[in-house]
Structure formats: structure tokens, C-alpha cells
Amino acid sequence: MNLSNFSIKKPATTIMIIVAMIFLGVLGLSKMPIEMMPSTSEPMARITIEWNGATPEDVEKMITTKVEDILSNIDGITEYNSTSEVEKSEIDVSFDYGTDVEMKITLLQNEINQIMDDLPEDIEEPEIREQSTSGKPSIVMGLSGGSTMEMRTFANNSLEPLIERIDGVSQVMIRGGQEQEVLVDIDPEKLENYNLTIQNIIDILGESSVNMPGGTLKEGAKEFYIKIDGELTTSEEIGNVI
């Protein structure tokens, strides 16, 4: 007896079998574990560098950006996301599937050791650990309208501080846009007259444009981070130096 004949001759039994299959399917679905951000097998590592007394801006400029520069030259890295906060830089690095994370951590450590002279002298020893790939709930927002520089400035100065004050927000990362830059036009004749080179000018500007952490100040239960702001941000300030 084939299935068709069985279904025709015994419709009640057939209906009971179908209902039982539907019930078992619904029961199995209800017990299936569901995660908002499920784990994946993507190998990851986290680079953590601490710098006592430093502001997020100083950490970004003096540590995070320099470490990111070396990451772009390492094979097998699919992406990296950085967070610069008070006294700490964290960079999450993702690798190709199947990568030996321990070997990559050793490679990262060697690469960072080679740029230690370019990092602040009083930072803590860089720490690199294999990172869990369990995701965290996140929201991605986009901006449109105006120039890319205007949007980046608005995001940095207005939007980021506003979102950071919301309860439950652990970090805000801004990507894209164009940050303001100052073009320095050098006169070759004046360089020769003063017996200077372009590298001399670069060194002078670098030494004159430095933000330094000034430690912390405690007042009761509050703690304030002191920053010595010496960064050159306008063409007038640069002109006063050179």
C-alpha cells in the first residue's frame, strides 16, 4: 500500500500523524536556543595599552593611531576596531577563518615592540590576548548632508558626547568623514637662507604640537583628568612657530 492509498483509506490516521508532526516541530522550535548576537568561529585578539593620566584624545593620537598603522601591513587581518578612552587604548583585531591566533599574537607583539620607541615612555606594557567572538548588542547610525568634514566635526563635537551620556552605552566609535587638516606651504628660498630642511620643519612642528597628560585631581568623590593642551590646531598657531 502506497502513501496515497493509505491517506485516502485512513484519513483520520493521516490527519493525526500530520498534527503530531506539526506539534513536534513547534515544540522543537520553541526549545531551540536563540541569541541576539550569536557567537561565530571568527578568530580575534585584543590589544590593550594603558597610559596613566592620559585623555582619550591623547591615547588616540599617541598610541591607537600608531598601532593601527602597523596592523594594515600584517597579512591575515580582515578588520580591526579601536577604542580610545581615558588612560587606555583597545584594538580588537579579526583574522581570516582558520588562522592560528597564538602565532598571530606573537607576530603582533613583535611588531608592537618595534614601534615602542615611538610610543609614550610611561605607558604600561602592551597586552595582547585572544578575544571571545561573542558579539555585543550595537546600533549603527549614519549621517548625511553637508560636507564630509562638517559631518565628522558634528559627530565628534556634538553627537558623540550626547550618545555617551545615555545610560547603558559602553562606547561610541566614529568612522568615516574627513577631519580638518592644515596645509603648510614651505618656501624653498627661505629654507636655504636659514639653512633648514623640510625634515627640520616637520620636527619643529611635531615638538611644538604635543598634548601631555597632567595626571588626575580628586575632589571628594569626583576625579578630574588634567590635560596639558599644546596641540597646534589653526594656521595662525602654526605660523607663530615657523
C-alpha dihedral (78, 83, 84, 88), degrees to nearest 10? -100
Map grid coordinates 590589544 to a residue: 47
Looking at residue 109, its pLDDT comes to 93
pLDDT for 147-203, tens place per residue?
A: 777 888 888 888 888 888 888 777 787 776 666 677 788 888 888 888 888 888 888
Give the span between the Cα atoms of 174 and 160, in whole angstroms.
8
**Structurally, what CATH architecture does the domain formed by 44-130 represent?**
2-Layer Sandwich (3.30)
Q: What 3-state DSSP class applies to 163? A: helix
Q: What is residue 87's predicted lDDT score, i.e. its pLDDT?
A: 85
Q: Where are the domains of the chain?
A: 1-32, 44-130, 138-180, 188-241
**pTM score:** 0.47
Model confidence at 210, pLDDT cuts 50, 70, 90, reads low
Task: Report the candidate in 99, 169, 174 with the shortest Cα–Cα distance to residue 138.
Answer: 169
Position 130, amino acid? E
Q: How far apart are CA 8 and CA 64, in angstroms?
A: 73
Cell numbers at 124, concatenated = 604600561
Distance CA 25, CA 208 (A): 70
